[in-house]
Amino acid sequence: MSPVSQRPSATPHRRLFATAALLIGSSLLMGCQAVLFGSLNATTGKTDVVVQRDVVFDPAYQLALDVYRLPGTARAPVVLFFYGGSWKSGKRQWYRWAAEALARRGVVVVIPDYRKWPQVRLDGFMQDAARAVAWTHAHAGDYGGDPASLFVMGHSAGAHIGALLATDAHWLNAVGMKPRDLAGFIGLAGPYDFLPLKDPDFIDMFGSTHETQLRSQPVHYVNGDEPPMLLMQGTTDKIVWPRNATSLAAALRHENEPVELKLYPDIGHFAILFAMSRPLRSKAPVLDDTINFIRQYAQHVQPESAASAASAVAH
């Protein structure tokens, strides 16, 4: 993550992101994600974004989601965001700051929880994700969203989940949908082509044989029936290597599928996520690139309202 000024005149917002840069490696590895993401949420302050919390989308497993939008939103593009955490950890509440950054740009944002390893394996969290897509598609209009402009987005393991939904039709078929029902997929530092597996946890998640592990690889399913994709990747990512994004982009191009590959120099695995907030936007314009992609492929694009534009500048 790029240096952030520590001068006495620096804003609390910028000082907090400098602290986050120092803590990010140790915090995430030591299981202190809640503290770090709580600090990020604290930077949002008072906001005009409306939030519907704890909306149950899967009563069988009591899985819930949160919906973020600006007041008066109508027929807006919808982003269903899956968070990362190695398929092992994470909570939707930690990502309020990211959801509000998108919502201020006129997008309806939905962040669901999903079951994680070791409670479930690939089939479990993918089934949860597919049900979240089906719920969002069915209820987007209730929150001012346009179901015809539903984008799936994710970071790290969440990007993997989203990419698998967009490539392997099996998951969405089970809920009466198909990948082309998505307006697009937006991936931040996603693992899309990561065999062979060596970590025992991942082998338990995805299978012990090459054949079973292939089920977890989005690149394996590209066949020319995918929605448009935006793949964003930092070149210095040492957790999910950039070849994952370049490999998936190559497979999509081979099938003449629309794909944009954004490689940000000197950006790592977590910095690309935090670039959705103001201090890093100049180095990795993740938020602007996301909004431009959404506006390109949304079915009904309204001019960005004065309120949302002003809110975006202010934050």
Q: What is the pLDDT of residue 311?
A: 47
Evaluate whether residue 27 is within a structural domain: no
Name the residue range of residue 109's domain.
Answer: 47-314
Evaluate whether residue 156 is within a structural domain: yes
Evaluate whether residue 9 is within a structural domain: no
Q: Tell me, what CATH number does 216's domain have?
A: 3.40.50.1820
Q: What is the pLDDT of residue 313?
A: 44
Evaluate whether residue 162 is within a structural domain: yes
Q: Give the 3-state secondary structure of the chain.
A: CCCCCCCCCCCHHHHHHHHHHHHHHHHHHCCCHHHHHHHHHHCCCCCCCEEEEEEEEECCCCEEEEEEECCCCCCEEEEEEECCCCCCCCCHHHHHHHHHHHHCCCCEEEEECCCCCCCCCHHHHHHHHHHHHHHHHHHHHHHCEEEEEEEEEEECHHHHHHHHHHHCHHHHHCCCCCHHHCCEEEEECCCCCCCCCCCHHHHHHHCCCHHHHHHHCHHHHCCCCCCCEEEEEECCCCCCCCHHHHHHHHHHHHCCCCEEEEEECCCCCCHHHHCCCHHHCCCCCHHHHHHHHHHHHCCCCCCCCHHHHHHHHHC
How confident is the chain (315 residues) per 10-residue block, as mean pLDDT?
31 40 42 54 68 97 98 96 97 96 97 98 98 98 98 98 98 98 98 97 98 98 98 97 98 98 96 83 88 93 49 47
Q: What is the pLDDT of residue 306?
A: 40
Q: What is the pLDDT of residue 299?
A: 84
Q: What is the pLDDT of residue 1?
A: 28
Evaluate whether residue 3 is within a structural domain: no
Domains in the chain, number: 1
Evaluate whether residue 114 is within a structural domain: yes
Q: What is the pLDDT of residue 310?
A: 43
Q: What is the pLDDT of residue 116?
A: 98
- Full-model pTM: 0.85
Evaluate whether residue 281 is within a structural domain: yes
Evaluate whether residue 64 is within a structural domain: yes
